[in-house]
Amino acid sequence: MPKRYTNLDNVSTHKTWADFYRWQRERKQKQKDLSYVVPRMEPPQSDRLHKPGGRPQLCWVGHSTFIMQLAGVTIVTDPVWAQRMGTAKRLSAPGIALEDMPPVDVVLISHGHYDHLHIGSLRRLPGDPHVFVPEGLGRLLHRRGFRHVTELSWWHNAEFRGVTLTFVPAQHWTRRTLWDTNTSHWGGWVITSNGAPTIYFAGDSGYFRGFRDIGDRFSIDYALLPIGAYEPEWFMGPQHTTPEEAVQAFLDCRARLFVPMHYGAFRLADDTPKEALDRLWAEWRRRGLEEERLLCLKLGEVIDAAQALTTLSPFDNTFSQTDAVTTEKQQAWPKE
């Protein structure tokens, strides 16, 4: 029998078929405006990716796909250029076309769900990248013919040409077939390198104590956090953060800048990209947080990750239990 992976504190994301049918019945009663399209750079700034000039750079392709360039290493997270997810057409085209990509050195996979691991996109990436995956997922990639694959478990790290890649917890689940539920793990990645900003890519997650654990272990400059696929909250709650919970996660991990992701590309739940962004900004302002610390990237936008940090004033990102999204979730959370 294959190993089955679990969340911290054995938090379950299991849903029954009855739950699923209830969601689908509710969904038919909703009318949603899907006319909003996430802003994009025109033209895309792919030329900057081919000539980084030694500067650390960050680019949002869409959904959970980012391009990072640190210490001369080009990293791609959860590469998905697919035009459909199941029967649903992509809502917005990728910000950087595959044919305009620079050679890729490293791919980081958060988990095995199809909107985070698309084999067709992975095959088409230029270069000969080393793929780092959660424990249990390596066998799938080896079967598909990928040569350079490294599995990591939570809190373990690997080195690649001066860049340290640490696999960190998330609260989620995974499945690619009817028979392989949770037979590989899930998580996020913290990317560090001397002289470069520290980037935390959260992958896909519900709200959990692990955000504070990660903030305790790392001094994070950029937190790339998911804000979409949360509605209905009774169904999606354990596995996807709401925008308000994402703000709390940002405070928990004590990052300097928040870059939202996991919205605008695929309709995985009932919320819309506009709803997610509106709720995010409303919560940000309710908390009295500085607007320049919330960095909503355009699709295909490339930023100088070091320069963006120089304009920020000192920030005391102390966790406030009295202002938490759900205090019930914080009671008696022990360290590992």
Residue 96 lies in a domain: yes
Q: Report the mean per-residue pLDDT for the chain.
A: 92
Residue 324 lies in a domain: no
pLDDT for 321 equals 46
pLDDT more than 90, % of the chain: 85
Q: Is pLDDT larger for residue 237 or for residue 1?
A: 237
pLDDT at 335 over 50: no
Torsion angle of C-alpha atoms 216, 10, 77, 257, degrees rounded to 10: -30
Helix (H) or strand (E) holding 234: helix 233-236
User: What Rg value do the Cα atoms of the chain yield, rounded?
Assistant: 19
pLDDT for 23 equals 94
Residue 202 in tokens: 């959260």
pLDDT digits (tens, 9 = 90+) for 6-16: 999 999 999 99
Helix axes 210-217, 243-253, angle to 10 degrees: 30
Residue 246 lies in a domain: yes
Residue 17 lies in a domain: no
Q: How far apart are CA 284 and CA 214, in angstroms?
A: 21
pLDDT for 313 equals 72
- Band of pLDDT at residue 312, cut at 50, 70 and 90: confident
Q: How many residues does the chain have?
A: 336
pLDDT digits (tens, 9 = 90+) for 104-161: 999 999 999 999 999 999 999 999 999 999 999 999 999 999 999 999 999 999 999 9
Q: How far apart are CA 41 and CA 95, in angstroms?
A: 7
- Band of pLDDT at residue 315, cut at 50, 70 and 90: low
Nearest to 46 by CA among 64, 63, 65, 67: 67
- The average pLDDT across 183-211 equals 96
Nearest to 2 by CA among 172, 162, 184: 184
Does this model's pTM top 0.95? My answer is no
Number of domains in the chain: 1
Residue 15 lies in a domain: no
Residue 309 lies in a domain: no
pLDDT at 332 over 60: no
Residue 320 lies in a domain: no
SS3 call for 225: strand
pLDDT for 230 equals 96
Task: Find out whether 241 and 225 touch, Cβ atoms under 8 Å.
Answer: yes
The CB density around residue 233, as the number of other CB atoms within 10 Å, is 14
Tell me phi and psi for residue 58, to 5 degrees. -135, 135
User: Where residue 199 sits, what CATH number does that domain have?
Assistant: 3.60.15.10
Which residue type sits at 271? Answer: D
Residue 101 lies in a domain: yes
pLDDT for 331 equals 32
CB neighbour class for 253 (10 Å; exposed up to 12, middle 13-18, buried from 19): buried
Q: Is pLDDT larger for residue 95 or for residue 332?
A: 95
Task: Find the domain containing 66 and state its range.
Answer: 42-299
CB neighbour class for 310 (10 Å; exposed up to 12, middle 13-18, buried from 19): exposed
pLDDT at 334 over 80: no
- Band of pLDDT at residue 317, cut at 50, 70 and 90: low
pLDDT at 1 over 90: no
